[in-house]
Structure 1
Amino acid sequence: MKVLLYFEGEKLLAKSGIGRALAHQQRALTDVGIPFTLDRHAEDYDILHINTYGINSLHMVNKAKRQGKKVIYHAHSTEEDFRNSFIGSNQLSPLYKKYLINLYERADQLITPTPYSKELLESYGLNLPIKAISNGIDLAKYQPKAEKEQAFRDYFQLDPNQKVIISVGLFFERKGILDFVEIAKQLPEYTFIWFGHTPMMTIPKKIRDLVNENHPANVLFPGYIKGDIIEGAYSAADLFFFPSYEETEGIVVLEALASRQHILVRDIPVYKGWLKENENAYMAKDNNHFAAKIKAIVEGEMPDLTEAGYRTAQSKSIDAIGKELQTVYQQVLTKK
């Protein structure tokens, strides 16, 4: 078999979790020996594995169906995670849901990252096979390394004893960015760093103002950073704090787990079945509990769950994901 991995607007989405999902798919298929192409003009493929939602994506699906190709839609997005993101997203979300349904129902198979997102898609009334497969994680990339950790501390000129809490994400209210800054105000003795970037013209004014100026001095917004600095941050920080309200998986959580980092997340349904409070992660529901847990974790007053967290990342390694994708591809090809 040969697979066409299609990703519309690759440069625009490269800094998002969906962008990293494409890189993981390429690596996973390479590992299990499945030939693939990224060339949208290719004709010699059997399965279109599509990740995006624009007009060109719709065109690619229709073209593949006309040519008798099989189509697998990777359902990274839902109406629920579209809300509280870009300007006007809440008003547009019902239309966005209809658009997603129109795209998804053209496929022969859906893949989505978690059982939670699978349940959401089933609630849309989609009547086609849906398989939950993690986006996966490159374990080797996030192994703690002293030189990467030093690069991170040097970049931000951090004192040796300075306590640091990090998060990674787009500048969306849904991601919990308002709570991140509010909690930083309550804990001025710690440095809070939010990695990530979103074009300012696309996000609401209150978020723009927050990032540009309305935040305390102990909060840093360095933008999108890749390579040794962010990889060093994952393992060198004292805590990965991810207060997102809605995810289909949360690749950054997997990256933190693979880095053997302490993690604190909001207690939301997407983590059901793979993150467990006080076992491989810490969870909370509101800012008061977040602040109390941050202080306890950073000061070493809570049990170290990092090895259990790393084992969770191992279960979602790219090697395992490649085999799961291979099984789905074979099933789709043999189904009449």
Structure 2
Amino acid sequence: MKIKLYFGQEDSIRKSGIGRAFVHQKKALELNGIPYTTDKDDLDYDILHINTVWPDSFKMINQARDNNKKIVYHAHSTEEDFKNSFMFSNSVSGVYKKWLINLYTKGDYIITPTPYSKGLLESYGISIPIKAISNGVDLKQFNPTEEQIKMFIDEYNIKSSEVIIISVGWLFERKGFDTFVEVAEKLPDYKFMWFGDVKLSRPTKKIKTLLDKLPSNVILPGYVSGDIIKGAYGRSNVFFFPSREETEGIVVLEALACKCNILLRDIPVFSKWLENGVNCYKGNDTDDFVELINKIVLGKSPSLVNNGYEVAKERELSRIGKELLEVYEETLRL
């Protein structure tokens, strides 16, 4: 069996969660000895595993069909997580949903990251087989060392006494960037750092307004990868992710792997695998988040990092590769 992994227009969204998921797929297959190619012109494969929903996807799908290849479509996107993202995303979300359905149903099998996103796809009327498989996390990579933590501290001149609250992602309303800023305003003694590319986020009017008058304790380092972001996870007091909608949230998996104190918005995607007060903390609004951050920082709420790490271990990439293999084998039998 040989798999063709396809990621269209990689340069434009390689910094996104989908870009990270693509990297994870390659490693998951390597860890399980599953041959694959990423050469778009290679016809020596059995299954096309396609990740993106750009117009060029049709070319790959048609190529696969013309050569009697099976297709697994990886459904990273939904109408729900498209809304409240880029400028004008809400006004075209209905068209986007139809586009997604048209593409996803050209596959023989669909993979999506969580039971929640699986339920959304089924609610669209999609009837081909769908399986929820986590995007996974690289436990070896996301295991901050003292050296990486020092690199982060030196890069941003972090004092030992400073409380650091971090988040990672696009600067979207959907991601809760507005809530992040509101919470920071109420906790001026703590330093809030949001890692994400401002320009590529194509901010809405609301986000642009926030960017024009950020509180002095909010720092936007931009997109940061490698040792420094791992050091940020390792030094942070709280990983605060107030997203309103996700299909999974790879950065949450990374934070769990790094043994961060995790604070999430209480949304459906997390309900099946992350439990409030057990392996993370959850809130619903700004006042909740302010109270919970204070309790975590002051030690009034117990650390849940070890329980959170167990969640990450369940989604380690070698395990993900085995789940992918099961889908591939089932697809070939269809």
Q: Settle same-fold status: TM greater than 0.5.
A: yes
Q: Name the residue aligned to 1:326.
A: 325
Distance 1:55 1:168 in 2: 28
Three-state SS of the structure 2 residue aligned to 1:141 is: coil
Given that residues 29 and 36 in structure 1 are in contact (C-alpha distance below 8 angstroms), is that contact kept between their aligned partners in structure 2?
yes
- Hey, what's the Cα distance between the residues in 1 that align with 2:115 and 2:201? 34
Describe the superposition over 1:127-176 as per-residue Cα deviations: whole angstroms up to 9, x where unpaired.
10000000000001111311111111111101111000000010111000
Q: For 2:128, what is the secondary structure of its paired residue?
A: coil
Superposed CA deviations along residues 22-60 of structure 1, whole A, max 9, x for unmatched, are 000000000111111111011101100000001101221
Match of 2:22 in 1: 22
Partner Cα distance (1:52, 1:203) in 2? 22
**What corresponds to 2:123 in structure 1?**
123
Say if 1:201 and 1:121 are closer, same or farther in 2 by CA, change over 3 A. closer
Partner of 2:83: 83
- Contact 1:144-1:260 within 8 A present in 2 as well: no
1:243 CA drift (Å): 0.1
Look up the match of 2:313: 314
Aligned to 1:166: 166
How far did residue 299 of structure 1 move? 1.4
- Which residue is 1:270 aligned to? 269
Give me the TM-score of the superposition, normalised by structure 1: 0.98
Moved more, 213-222 or 195-204: 195-204
Counterpart secondary structure, 1:89: coil
SS at match of 1:147: helix
Normalising by structure 2, report the TM-score.
0.98
User: How far off its partner does 1:178 sit?
Assistant: 0.3
Q: 1 or 2, which has the higher helix percentage?
A: 1
Matched to 1:32, the amino acid is N
Quick one: distance in 2 between partners of 1:11 and 1:298? 38
**2:53 aligned partner:** 53
Shift of 1:206: 2.6
- Contact kept? 2:47, 2:71, Cα under 8 Å: yes
* 1:46 and 1:70 in contact (8 A); partners too: yes
Shift of the alpha carbon at 1:12? 1.2
**CA distance in 1 between partners of 2:326 and 2:44 (Å):** 21
Per-residue CA deviations over 1:71-102 (Å, capped at 9, x if unaligned) read 00000000000000111100000000000000
Q: Does residue 149 in structure 1 map to residue 149 in structure 2? A: yes
| Counterpart residue number, 2:97 | 97
Unaligned runs of 5+ in 2: none
Alpha carbon RMSD of aligned pairs, Å? Answer: 1.0
Which residue number in structure 2 is paired with residue 72 of structure 1?
A: 72
* Alpha-carbon distance in 2 for matches of 1:58, 1:321: 27
| CA–CA distance in structure 2, aligned partners of residues 218 and 334 of structure 1 | 56
In 2, the alpha carbon distance for the partners of 1:81 and 1:201 equals 14
Displacement of 1:67: 1.5
Distance 2:39 2:198 in 1: 27
| Contact kept in structure 2, 1:133 and 1:321, CA below 8 Å | yes
Q: Which position in structure 1 is the counterpart of 2:192?
A: 192
Q: Which amino acid aligns with 2:244?
A: Y
What count of residue pairs does the alignment treat as equivalent? Answer: 334
Which residue in 2 is equivalent to 1:114? 114
The superposition leaves residues 244-301 of structure 1 with CA deviations (integer Å, 9 ceiling, x where unpaired) of 0000000000000000010000000001221000000000011101110011101111
2:137 is aligned to: 137
Note if 1:205 corresponds to 2:205: yes
Percent identity reads 53
Kindly provide the amino acid, as one letter, of the partner of residue 323 in structure 1. K
| Structure 2 equivalent of residue 259 of structure 1 | 258
